[in-house]
């Protein structure tokens, strides 16, 4: 009962496409599904007293159940070859015993795409495509050989019952198509999951490439992009250059770990105050450059003053030590005809004017 529940759980995962199933789970689906088909066929051939096929199907069920031990120990390639050979042998034995017309050779056709999928997705061996190509070629030869065999031999058991022939042919066709559909769904599900994971990883890489790892602020590479975008827009923009006052003393007195705390929390305060009005970048060392998408001096001055006041009122603490820090900020508004470099230089000049005149102030 537990195995049946697990089997149904894996099938549900496949149908919903919400989760990737492992190689072990895939092989469990294959083993239990094929085993159930052979249990049904064993009952059919037992009823019609086709002894060789009855014995073969019973042995097949026992073989697949023993394969669960191989799957549990992740010996997946032997399980693949056992399944591959069993299906081909079963097709030949069925053709010899009762004839081609019952459709057992159709399972060989399903081996080709399923084999390519399994070999390609397994994490157990190199040269996966060579294995899949060779097995596909052998399956093709086996299918044609099975058909040729049916022309030259007379079946051992003459089952001249049209309803039985039609029903078994339909049953075998349905099973073949179900296996193909299930593995197609697995393939689509894994493609979707791989695409989602790739987008997620790309977003992470993009964030790592565009942000400063310590503060989480944009880095200079990203700010260069934002500055050129702002230059091409018609709305105008302003820059605020910020510098933490006496930051070297903080590092020298309390250590670089405390300095990192100050940088991170100043970055947090600055980001909160700027909000959606612009972009905040760690320009270098303890310098922060802010791009405000506004050329209104009152609005830019208000944001700068809020930053200065919140930093000055903030308590920076680490290991039961606490201090206050201040910021000096220089503002520059872009003017037509200026370059980005000139606008940054103007903000930097105003910043150092503030430094020379007592620090902890905003200069425009």
- Provide the annotated active-site residues: 286
Q: For the purposes of burial, counting CB atoms within 10 Å of the CB of 199, is it exposed (0-12), middle (13-18) or buried (19 or more)?
A: exposed
Q: Is 363:329 a contact under the CB 8 Å cutoff?
A: yes
Distance of CA 114 to the CA centre of its chain: 23
Tokens for 199, please give them. Answer: 């987008």
73 three-class SS? coil
- Kind of pairing between the strands at 327-333 and 362-363: parallel
Q: Is 29:10 a contact under the CB 8 Å cutoff?
A: yes
- Kind of pairing between the strands at 287-292 and 321-323: unpaired
Q: Is 328:348 a contact under the CB 8 Å cutoff?
A: no
Question: How far apart (Å, rounded) are the C-alpha atoms in residues 182 and 179?
Answer: 5
What is the secondary structure of 259-291 as a DSSP string? Answer: HHHHHHHHHHHHHHHHGGGEEEEEEETTEEEEE
Q: For 20, which DSSP code? A: P
Q: Which residues contact 254 (CB under 8 A, 6 or more apart)?
A: 318, 321, 323
Q: For the purposes of burial, counting CB atoms within 10 Å of the CB of 162, is it exposed (0-12), middle (13-18) or buried (19 or more)?
A: exposed
Residue at token pair 């399980």? 79
Tokens for 286, please give them. Answer: 């303890």
Residue at token pair 């700068």? 304
Question: How far apart (Å, rounded) are the C-alpha atoms in residues 200 and 191?
Answer: 14
Q: What separation, in Å, do the N-terminal and C-terminal C-alpha atoms of the chain show?
A: 77
Question: How far apart (Å, rounded) are the C-alpha atoms in residues 288 and 284?
Answer: 7
């Amino acid at each position: 009962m537990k195995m049946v529940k697990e089997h149904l759980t894996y099938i549900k995962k496949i149908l919903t496409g919400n989760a990737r199933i492992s190689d072990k789970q895939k092989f469990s689906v294959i083993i239990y599904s094929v085993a159930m088909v052979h249990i049904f066929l064993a009952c059919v051939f037992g009823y019609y007293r086709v002894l060789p096929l009855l014995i073969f199907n019973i042995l097949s069920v026992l073989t697949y159940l023993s394969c669960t031990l191989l799957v549990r120990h992740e010996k997946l390639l032997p399980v693949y070859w056992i399944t591959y050979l069993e299906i081909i042998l079963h097709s030949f034995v069925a053709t010899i015993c009762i004839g081609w017309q019952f459709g057992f050779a159709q399972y060989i056709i399903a081996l080709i795409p399923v084999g390519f999928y399994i070999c390609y997705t397994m994490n157990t061996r190199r040269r996966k495509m060579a294995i899949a190509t060779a097995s596909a070629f052998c399956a093709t030869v086996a299918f044609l050989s099975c058909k040729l065999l049916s022309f030259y031999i007379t079946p051992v058991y003459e089952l001249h019952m049209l309803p039985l022939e039609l029903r078994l042919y339909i049953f075998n066709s349905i099973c073949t198509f179900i296996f193909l559909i299930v593995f197609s769904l697995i393939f689509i599900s894994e493609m979707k999951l791989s695409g989602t994971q790739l987008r997620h990883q790309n977003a992470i890489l993009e964030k790592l490439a565009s942000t400063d790892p310590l503060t989480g602020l944009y880095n200079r590479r990203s700010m260069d992009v934002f500055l050129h975008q702002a230059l091409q827009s018609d709305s105008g923009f302003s820059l605020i250059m910020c510098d933490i006052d006496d930051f070297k003393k903080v590092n020298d007195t309390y250590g670089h770990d405390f300095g990192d705390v100050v940088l991170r929390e100043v970055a947090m305060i600055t980001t909160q105050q700027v909000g959606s009005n612009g972009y905040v970048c760690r320009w270098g060392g303890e310098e922060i450059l802010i791009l405000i998408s506004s050329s209104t001096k009152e609005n830019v001055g208000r944001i700068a003053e809020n930053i200065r006041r919140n930093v000055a009122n903030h308590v920076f603490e680490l290991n039961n030590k606490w201090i206050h820090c201040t910021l000096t900020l220089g503002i520059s508004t872009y003017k037509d005809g200026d370059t980005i470099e000139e606008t940054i230089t103007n903000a930097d000049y105003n910043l150092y004017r503030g430094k020379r005149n007592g620090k902890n102030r905003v200069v425009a």
